[in-house]
Amino acid sequence: MKGLYKYLRNYRIECFLAPFFKLLEAVFELTVPLVIASLIDTGLANEDEGHVVKMVLILVAFAFVGFGFAATAQFFAAKAAVGFATELRHALFSHIMRLSFKETDRQGSSTLITRMTSDVNQTQAAVNLFLRLFLRSPIIVFGALIMAFTVDVKAAIIFAVVIPLLFVIVFALLFMTIPRFKKVQSALDKLLGLTRENLTGVRVIRAFGLEDREIANFEEETGKHRHLQEIAGKVSALMNPATYIVINTALIILLYFGALRVESNELTAGEVVALVNYMSQILVELLKLANTFISITKGLACANRISAVMEIPEGMEIQVVSAEDNTSAKPDITESPVSETKGNAEKSRPAVRFSHVYMKYNEGGEDALEDIDFESSYGTITGIIGGTGSGKTSIVNLIPRFYDAEKGTVYVAGRDVKKYDIAALRDMVGSVMQKAVLFKGTVRDNLKWGNDEATDEELRSAMDLAQITGIELDREVEQEGRNFSGGQKQRLSIARTLVGKPPILILDDSSSALDYATDAALRKALRTLSWKPAIFIVSQRASTVQHADQILVLDDGKLVGKGTHEELIKACDVYKEIYASTEQG
């Protein structure tokens, strides 16, 4: 939580002015009962109309001044809270975008989305309430106690007994409520995860006719979330009746003994009214304070959850750790300041070389890749084929360092990838992911991700190479490219990568939605690329890779075959099975 205070640094003045104006409002509020007492005892008792009018005008003035102070305090509190939340959300989004794939996988998309939305909003509300009420309410409570002693010492003893009792009730209920609200937030994470999963896989759900089952699952999770909220709500709902019982009991006692003392001329009617007003103020402010504490504790729980994400080491940072400091959190992927651009990559060196590489996704888990050893040159095509889960994508993810090898070394242009500046390395490697993703905007906007300075001619040339016809550069792209077919999205993703002319080009099963003729035309076009990149084609179809200069055959994370199509047909049983099933079956 401490790390989040820095996002309030630009709002120091607002953080001071908001409680300051609330304190001024509190001072006026504490003075009101004394004015009413004077109105009753002096104005009404003596039938002094002038004094009554004077006191009424003072009360009206207090109301307007108090409202002005309250509105001003609210303005500064809101400005500080909204500004804090905006800077925090920007910083959190920037941090998440820099996390390694391994950390993103570990945290889960639903968790990160909840931190960005619900948790930040709860923290914003807590900051707002803290600035407005956290100081005001205690001052009203203890100020009312002090003012009660100035009115009458004996009657104020009732206040001295009631206030500690109320604090005990309030804080006991708070300590019972806080852990329950934490469970509510955790349940919200699960509910969001289920919702996201269903929306992402809605086509699959409909294809298998499982809508009713998923609706039942959602209702079950919603029921659990509702149940946790009801428990937390029931506990917090005890706050009002418990405090009202104490306060009303105190009021009955105060009115009873106050009436007796008025009869004996020890107190005036105005003083009794003032004491009752102070007791009512204490009740209202304690309830406000209790609700403030609940909101603040919710906000603190959310802030701690945000801090936990912010404390995850970024996967793209230079970090020097001493040998003794082995307890500090380390990023999954650290970078070297050594940089290289795609323009000065030496073509004489192998474009990519894997030297006995092992890789796993989770600590303590099984190896996803075992003893992978091969090299690929510029101007050649390397096909990677294997069954589902054999490790094809894992290999190509190691080249741009989306993940790091556990053992062995991955070389790009003759240098260990860990010695590269991350941005420079990924500028040399163009990746077309398994899932084609387009962003809202135009086709031109999406293609320029590959190169901001590309001309329209260069964009159209890349589209021609990717076998795209009949699509204008100014055509609108909806979110996630919903207005394009699967094949169009894949070819636009390929064109986007070709615009950048990377020395290393990775096509990770990026032609799965293309028909055989378009796929063949695309592979033929890749042979004609002027900058002669090293191309990696990942596929489950033998026809897509059979004309590659070398083919890597994977089975359960192991490299079981390496060679040309003709060589593998003769010597590799796994390749022969894949070829028979995909081309002849």
Helix (H, G, I), strand (E, B) or coil at 265: coil
Q: Say if 322 falls within a structural domain.
A: no
Q: Say if 323 falls within a structural domain.
A: no
The residue range of the domain holding 453 is 352-584
Q: Say if 163 falls within a structural domain.
A: yes
Q: What is the pLDDT of residues 20-68, one digit of tens each?
A: 998 888 888 888 888 888 888 787 877 788 888 888 898 899 889 989 9
What's the pLDDT score for residue 336?
58
> Is 138:289 a contact under the CB 8 Å cutoff?
yes
199-217 CB burial, b ≥16 within 10 A, e <16: eeeeeebeeeeeeeebeee
* Cα four-point dihedral sign 577, 579, 582, 585: negative
What is the pLDDT of the chain when averaged over all its residues?
A: 84
Which H helix or E strand runs over 416? strand 415-416
State the residue for tokens 């400005």: 79
Q: What is the pLDDT of residues 187-227, one digit of tens each?
A: 877 887 788 788 878 888 888 888 999 999 999 989 988 99
Q: Are residues 102 and 154 in the same domain?
A: yes
Question: What's the mean pLDDT in 397-408?
Answer: 90
317: DSSP letter: B
Q: Residue 327 pLDDT > 60, yes or no?
A: no
Question: What's the mean pLDDT in 536-563?
Answer: 91
**Both tokens assigned to 381:** 């095509």
Q: Say if 196 falls within a structural domain.
A: yes
Q: Please tell me the distance from the alpha carbon of residue 389 to that of residue 385, in angstroms, as a whole number.
A: 11
**Both tokens assigned to 524:** 């033929």
Q: Residue 387 pLDDT > 60, yes or no?
A: yes
Q: Residue 328 pLDDT > 60, yes or no?
A: no
Q: Are residues 289 and 359 in the same domain?
A: no
Q: Say if 93 falls within a structural domain.
A: yes
Q: Please tell me the distance from the alpha carbon of residue 213 to that of residue 56, in angstroms, as a whole number.
A: 67
Picking from 283, 310, 337, the residue at the C-terminal end of a domain is 310
Q: Residue 322 pLDDT > 60, yes or no?
A: no
| Structural domain count of the chain | 2
Which of 84-93, 129-138, 159-168: highest mean pLDDT? 84-93
Q: Are residues 303 and 369 in the same domain?
A: no
Q: Say if 340 falls within a structural domain.
A: no
Q: Say if 89 falls within a structural domain.
A: yes
Query: pLDDT-based confidence at 231, cuts 50/70/90?
Result: confident
Q: Are residues 283 and 357 in the same domain?
A: no
Q: Are residues 225 and 366 in the same domain?
A: no
Domain with 453 in it: what CATH number?
Answer: 3.40.50.300
Q: What is the CA radius of gyration of the chain?
A: 35
Lowest mean pLDDT segment, chosen from 87-96, 322-331, 369-378, 436-445 = 322-331
Question: What's the mean pLDDT in 506-518?
Answer: 86
Q: Are residues 360 and 288 in the same domain?
A: no
Q: Are residues 116 and 201 in the same domain?
A: yes
Q: Say if 344 falls within a structural domain.
A: no
